[in-house]
A and B are shown apart, each in its own frame.
Chain A
Amino acid sequence: MESPRRIRAHPGWSGCLLWLRLGALVLGGLCCALLPAHAAVKEARILILNGTDPYLPGYLAFDSALRANLTKDAAWSIVLFSEALDGQRFAVEALEHEYLALLSKKYRALSIDVVVAVTRPALEFFVRNGERLWPGARVVYQGSGVGMAGHQMLPLHATGVLAPEDVEGTIALARRMQPRSRQMMVITGASDQDRRFEQLARKAVTGSAEGLSTEFLSGLPQAELVAAVAAAPPDTMILFLTQFRDRDGRPYTPRVLALEVIKVAQSPVYSISETFVGTGAVAGMVEVLEERGRLVAERVLDALAGRVPDPARAMHQIASRCVADARALKRLSLDASLLPEGCEIRFADRSIWDEYFWVSLGAIGVLAAQSLLIAVMRVQMRRRRAAEAEARKRFSEMAHMNRRVAMGEMSASIAHELNQPLGAIRNNAGAAELLLDADPPRLRDVKEILNDIKRDDQRASDIIARIRKMLVKAEFQVRDIDLNVAIDETTALLAEEAALRGVTIRAELVAGLPQVCADAVEVKQVVVNLALNAMEAMHDQPPAQRRLTIQTRCANDHEAEVSVRDSGAGIPSDLLPRIFEAFVTSKASGMGLGLAISRTIIETHGGRMRAENGPEGGAIISFTLPFAVAAPA
């Protein structure tokens, strides 16, 4: 049963708040400590007054560049405001009254330090109303420089960055790119802004006109314009300058219209706007908006600092830069080498290397690492093989020694076995001697004797040969062998030893046992080891009870099994799990290596050895050997 909880305010809160307050204090203190030494960071208020649609891509790019550059100066803490007149689409003068009312209300209590007037309408608005709306504010102008020279009423200390509007340069660029072209199409709109550009174009064309036929499409409605462009012959040079309104007064977003034009154009389209060159125009002498933003920001900061500009250089005209679109060049099969030197080719097909630099680097790194790994592994493998060969050699030596020891253990029975035929030979020789001394010499008997001597000599040789086969120090030599035959040879080897110890050996060999792939000497060595162990184990049994059985059978469809069973007392249960370990033995003498070596031999052949106690009390050691795989017919 739960104890009733005490009802009160959340226990942690007051504590939490206390910690928060403390934290804030500490943090505030830290901030103060970390701020730069001059505590006087001045606050500046900048108003960006855009005379047109501020969301045109060009102005967005410029705006972000401007902001980035303004905040770089750590001396100022800049607060940015922004107003838009959208003068292309809405008649500023008609709305002036309302604009004034709104703006004066907005900025009554707010003092602006610098106004950035973007486009001519904004500048003119500022000239008319700036004093009243934002007293004391300086102006930095950004926009077209056309007609600037004649302007008398520029505000005090006004500076500006003028757009290049390099129509002439763009036309020249077009003629470079299409040297054989004799046809030019210039697209402009019907608004004042548009007409201004038309004038620029006409002037430029008359300047460099030889052999050039120029068509001016001014203020065409979209459908007509698109049709005209589509119908233009392939090697035309199309100059899309600007179209804010067609002759019917319909408003356009120049960029959108340009896209439609570019879509149908079979000829290259050139432009003076950086943003158009990103959307399909081939190339142009443009104003780089990043640069514009940087330069305007410089002038704003100058104005904030109160620097007085040199009137002669107050208005700075940016140089136009050549920019080309590699995709459009490729699409229209234009030769990029015709571009002027230093032209910035954008959107170039980056090679795999460019495109995926880091990925490629990573891939190369991975490949290099892999190669290194493989090389290291190769070295390791070589070392391991060498080590394995060494180990095999050592084991071979040890196995050989084990064979010699086993034969040594059987030396009494070997001597015994040899002395039978040798004894018979001696007897026969003695008899022959006597028979030759008889009168007359019994030559026929002597001949018979000599035959017997030869036969017994062969017997002795066979015994020795059998032993020597076991003592061979050969390399591991695997062949297809008949296990039953090998077992028979082994029982022949062991016969004398068994007889000596009063042991009866019985071989139960299953008929038709398939051949196994093994080294015959080593297999026999294993059986000898096991048999000698077994005979030793039966030492204490009465002679009638000393029975050794060697059995072969098919263990399964891919292995043969040999088992050596004795009628001794069996393996003690505490020794049984360790019986195959080296130096484990229940014998008073001997090193206990025989079973370990035997098992290793079998395992090298791909078999297994196991030991267990049989139901009748003796031990059974058995091992498997894989059948030889029949060669494909």
Chain B
Amino acid sequence: MNANSPIVHVVDDDAAWRTSLERLLLAGGYRVALYESAEDFLAASHVEAPGCILLDVRMPGLTGLQLQKRLAEVRQVLPIVFLSGHADIPIAIQAMKAGAQDLLTKPVDKDVLFRAIEEALVRDRESRGAHDRLEALRSRLNGLTRSERQVFDHVVRGRLNKQIAGDLGITERTVKWHRHNLMEKLQVRSVAALVSLAEQLDMLGGRDRS
């Protein structure tokens, strides 16, 4: 394990459960963090390490579902595996619809638990990966000059060089020059890739101005 090993966060009010679960997870090679309540979890500062949350459904104070909602609001994206003391279908449906990774019933078989954790961690990696990529794209975009940015905006809207020159009041040659630079900075080779990038960054909303 290293500093970037995934952490399994256990949120449950039952001490015996927490302890036993920690033991099991440690034996399984995971890093574990224990929280007595949903409030404790929210209060704790989380290093942006990968991981997932093992969350009890029913707790005094903030319930598991409420915590799920709260986390979604603050865009905390760790996957949640719910653990429930009794099968409650309405709660299960609600949890899954709100984006939970899984819902398991106590007592839980260790293999089932580990598999669920792994799936959660995979999802976490994937969503992290996606997130990172977007972040990279964003930062590259931010590296464009103003003029490059303007040209970019027009290109991804399907404007021809000649049209862009007219729109911006610059020569077609200058347009070509900016176009070459921004594609290098953004590390794309085609207009299609540019458009795709814009889409990913969700910049294409609104009506085409042309």
Contacts and interface: CB of A to CB of B under 8 A. Distances in A.
A162 B24 CA distance: 142
Interface stretch (B34-42, B107-115, B169-177): B107-115
Interface string B8-51: 00000010110111011011100000000000000000000000
B133 interface: no
Interface residues of A, number: 28
Contact of A415 (B23, B24, B85, B110): B85
A423 B27 contact: no
B69 interface: no
Given A427-B24, A430-B24, A434-B28, 15 more contacts: A416-B86, A419-B105, A419-B107, A420-B17, A420-B85, A421-B16, A424-B21, A427-B23, A427-B110, A430-B113, A431-B26, A433-B110, A445-B23, A449-B23, A455-B16
Contact of B108 (A427, A434, A452, A459): A427
A423 B107 contact: yes
A456 B15 CA distance: 11
22 contacts: A412-B86, A415-B85, A419-B106, A419-B107, A420-B14, A420-B106, A422-B106, A423-B17, A423-B20, A423-B85, A423-B106, A426-B108, A427-B107, A428-B23, A428-B24, A430-B24, A430-B27, A434-B27, A434-B28, A438-B27, A452-B19, A459-B16
Contacts of B26: 431
Contact of A419 (B23, B86, B113): B86
A381 interface: no
A427 B17 contact: yes
B60 interface: yes
B17 A424 contact: yes
B59 to A, nearest CB: 9
Interface in B128-153: none
B58 interface: yes
A212 interface: no
A435 interface: yes
Interface of B: 14, 16-17, 19-21, 23-24, 26-28, 58, 60, 83, 85-86, 105-110, 113
B53 to A, nearest CB: 17
Contacts of B27: 430-431, 434-435, 438
Interface string A577-611: 00000000000000000000000000000000000
A423 B56 CA distance: 12
Task: List 8 tightest A-B contacts by C-beta distance, closest first.
Answer: A430-B110, A423-B106, A427-B20, A426-B107, A434-B27, A423-B107, A416-B85, A431-B24
A343 interface: no
A367 interface: no
A412 B20 CA distance: 23
B86 A415 contact: yes
Nearest to B26: A431
Contact of B58 (A433, A459, A499): A499
B160 to A, nearest CB: 62
Contacts of B20: 423-425, 427-428, 431, 452, 456
A422 B107 CA distance: 6
A500 interface: yes
Q: Please classify the interface of chain A as helix (H, G, I), strand (E, B), loop, or mixed, using the class held by over half of its residues.
A: helix
Contacts of A415: 85-86
A548 to B, nearest CB: 15
Given A415-B86, A434-B28, A427 B14 contact: no
Nearest to B88: A412
A360 to B, nearest CB: 84
Contacts of A445: 23
B29 to A, nearest CB: 9
Contacts of A422: 106-107
Contacts of B86: 412, 415-416, 419
Contacts of A449: 23
B184 to A, nearest CB: 52
B58 A424 contact: no
* Most A-side CB within 10 Å, residue of B14, B17, B27: B27
Given A456-B16, A499-B58, A499-B60, A426 B23 contact: no
Contacts of B17: 420, 423-424, 427
Contacts of A499: 58, 60
Nearest to A413: B86
A416 B23 contact: no
Given A426-B108, A428-B24, A434-B24, A420 B60 contact: no
A451 to B, nearest CB: 12
A415 B58 CA distance: 13
B82 to A, nearest CB: 13
B147 to A, nearest CB: 58
Interface in A390-449: 412, 415-417, 419-428, 430-431, 433-435, 438, 445, 449
Contacts of A421: 16
A459 B19 CA distance: 15
Interface string A69-102: 0000000000000000000000000000000000
Nearest to A449: B23
A420 B16 contact: yes
B107 to A, nearest CB: 4
A37 B20 CA distance: 128
A186 B27 CA distance: 145
Interface string A366-386: 000000000000000000000
A421 B15 CA distance: 10
A153 to B, nearest CB: 142
A452 B105 CA distance: 21
Contacts of B113: 430
Nearest to A448: B23
B165 to A, nearest CB: 64
A301 B23 CA distance: 139
Contacts of B14: 420, 424
A435 to B, nearest CB: 5
Contacts of B85: 415-417, 419-420, 423
A138 to B, nearest CB: 130
A430 B110 CA distance: 6
Contacts of B105: 419
Contacts of A438: 27
Given A431-B23, A434-B24, A435-B27, A452 B16 contact: yes
A434 B28 CA distance: 7
B31 to A, nearest CB: 15
Nearest to A426: B107
Contacts of A420: 14, 16-17, 85, 106
Interface centre among A417, A431, A500, by most chain B C-beta atoms within 10 angstroms, is A431
A615 B23 CA distance: 51
B10 to A, nearest CB: 10
Contacts of A417: 85
A421 B28 CA distance: 21
A430 B113 CA distance: 10
Nearest to B16: A424
Contacts of A419: 85-86, 105-107
A431 B19 CA distance: 11
Contact of A423 (B58, B60, B108): B108
Nearest to A452: B20
A426 B109 contact: yes
